[in-house]
Chain A
Amino acid sequence: MTNYLEKSVKEINELLKNKKIKPIDLVNEAFERIENNSELNAYITLNKEEAVKKAIELEDKEVDNILFGLPIAVKDNIVTKGLRTTAASHILENFTPIYDATVVEKINKNNMIIIGKTNMDEFAMGSSSRTSYFGAPRNPWNKTKISGGSSGGSAVTIAANDVLFALGTDTGGSIRQPASYCGIVGMKPTYGRVSRYGMIAFASSLDQIGPMTKNVYNNALLLNVIAGHDDKDLTSSRKEVEDYTSLIGQDIKGKKIAIPNYFVSDIVSKEIKEKLENVIELLKEKGAIVDYVDMKYLENAVTLYQIIAMGEASSNLARFDGIRYGTSYEDPNGIYDLYVKTRSNGFGKEVKRRIMVGSYLLSGENAKIYYNKALAIRDDISKEFKKVFEKYDYIIGPTTTTTAYDLTDPMDDPSKSFMDDVLSIPVNMAGLPGLNLPIGTSEDNMPIGMQIIGDKFTEASIYQLAAFLEKEIDFCGGVKYE
């Protein structure tokens, strides 16, 4: 097997430009790697035929950008024209979209090559990817452990070195948490930075698409491509897209960093806290100012998330009715029967539970008691973050409270998957950007990650700190960022 995909993006780009290699070499290598790692179950659908076709087409084209010809994996809740998109659900098992998501149009326009659709929790509902109709992906660090979720397959395929780029989606931590469990870099951009058009909606006021990569530099390159306003998503921002690599390499001396006390409280395991303390020492040594701060409402974030996410999900998933697309119950006795039988057969346990709770929370007077109240307190959380960002450049903390747990751990506690995201959820509540950076490994050799949170639209500055730490911290023998 060749090893082009272990080189830096700049090196690969040079090789392509100088005609030393062709895009097809990268595509063939990616599929060979995926094949060798097939037991990781990172993919639901491979796009082999089309990827090869596209690679050959690109041979006649000029190498016009740094991501030209590079294979990319796309989470299976992002629609791809002509390529099966299931959201890991039985109800969409045979669904082939008739249009591309805006992010997919953008990666196609940059002549990246979609290699396949990655495994995930059904409709992104879960934190271990074990709710997938297609079986759970496995963590490449230890195949008996979960990948995290919901963007588990994307995290796995990056960690396993199958491809250099993947897209994930993050509603309560679904990019950052699997990135942390698999030891990769994952960014949830500011709400509105990336168009959600063509993402199969889970909780529309929280969902955001983002890049998942092995290193910080590649992550910023992919955000450069997918960010920007889109007429098809009215919540997408008109704010100008920056070059997100522009601050990478700059010093962080004098930067002010806050750590909420809640993020280092007893809910976090001892070894994760120790690794974070090492980072804090390093930051101080390099001239950053680090303070511990109190923030109100952080401990309420999971409750708010449960109300908002399940409420919005129950409304969003009402569209799966067996009429317009997707699987449909064969022999219904009238239309109500069609809805009920299609949905009962098509959705998995976790999804059904969440839709039912969401329906309860939004029904009649309950909407006022729960949903409206949750929105009001959500606003308070945003204000708490705003206050901190008046004085500080960054908020940091661990991404998760533990490292990846066993695939066989019980799934009978319906609250567990929410609690796994206790540290990542506040970021979605406030619509902020947040990034997972690997900072070390545990005693049982599983990755540990830290979260870097910035004020809205400060992704470039988050990459600056992340790249600085990436260079200083010896994770996995060190990573080069260019």
Chain B
Amino acid sequence: MKKVLTKEEVLHVADLARIEVSDSEVEKYQEELGKLLSDVEQINMVENYDDERLIAPWTEETKLREDSEGTMLNPKEVIENAPRRAGNYIAVPVVISENESEGA
């Protein structure tokens, strides 16, 4: 079964993935994503399965670790790894613009 994505669908998944797709790339992605999604459509050919199961790759009982003192990452080093810093803080660009904050 060949799956075809519309241009809008490609732009939607690109947005979900926070990846930019230029006008010139849309067609290429329509084809490539369509190919991969056609592959995964084959899952609908599989019969005799029960999809109400809850499964995890891990079957051992999980235990909480002991509540004890341990070493943690050095906050200074953590901050220093950030591309933008302001003193002891990690800096980010404007999250809500002035217009948005006024409810525009």
Chain A interfacial positions (CB closer than 8 Å to B): 95-96, 98-99, 191-192, 205-206, 231, 234-235, 237-239, 297, 300, 302-304, 306-307, 310, 314, 318, 321-328, 332-341, 343-344, 347, 352-353, 355-361, 363, 370, 372-380, 413-415, 418, 431
Contacts and interface: CB of A to CB of B under 8 A. Distances in A.
B55 interface: yes
A297 B83 contact: no
Interface string B45-63: 0100111010111101011
Contact of B40 (A306, A332, A376): A306
Q: 10 closest A-B pairs (Cβ-Cβ)?
A: A328-B83, A344-B20, A359-B16, A205-B57, A98-B77, A231-B65, A359-B17, A339-B18, A379-B55, A325-B81
B4 interface: no
A239 B58 CA distance: 13
B74 to A, nearest CB: 7
A297 B48 CA distance: 11
A413 B17 CA distance: 21
B18 to A, nearest CB: 4
A325 B82 contact: yes
A58 to B, nearest CB: 24
Interface residues of B, number: 47
A378 B55 CA distance: 9
Given A334-B97, A357-B37, A323 B14 contact: no
Given A356-B29, A363-B16, A376 B51 contact: yes
B35 A414 contact: yes
A413 B39 CA distance: 12
A360 B58 CA distance: 26
B84 A359 contact: no
Interface string B14-25: 101111100000
Contact of A360 (B33, B49, B92, B93): B33
B55 A376 contact: yes
B73 interface: yes
A376 B90 contact: no
B1 interface: no
B46 A300 contact: yes
A323 B95 CA distance: 12
Contact of A99 (B32, B33, B73): B73
Contacts of B51: 372-373, 376
B104 interface: no
- Max chain A C-beta neighbours (<10 A), residue from B16, B73, B78: B16
Given A344-B19, A418-B39, A324 B13 contact: no
B42 A303 contact: yes
Given A205-B57, A347-B19, A335 B93 contact: yes
Residue of B18, B32, B81 with most partner-chain A CB within 10 A: B18
15 contacts: A98-B81, A192-B60, A234-B62, A324-B82, A325-B83, A328-B83, A335-B92, A339-B18, A356-B19, A357-B37, A360-B16, A370-B43, A377-B46, A377-B49, A414-B35
B13 A335 contact: no
A306 B83 contact: no
Contacts of A414: 32, 35-36
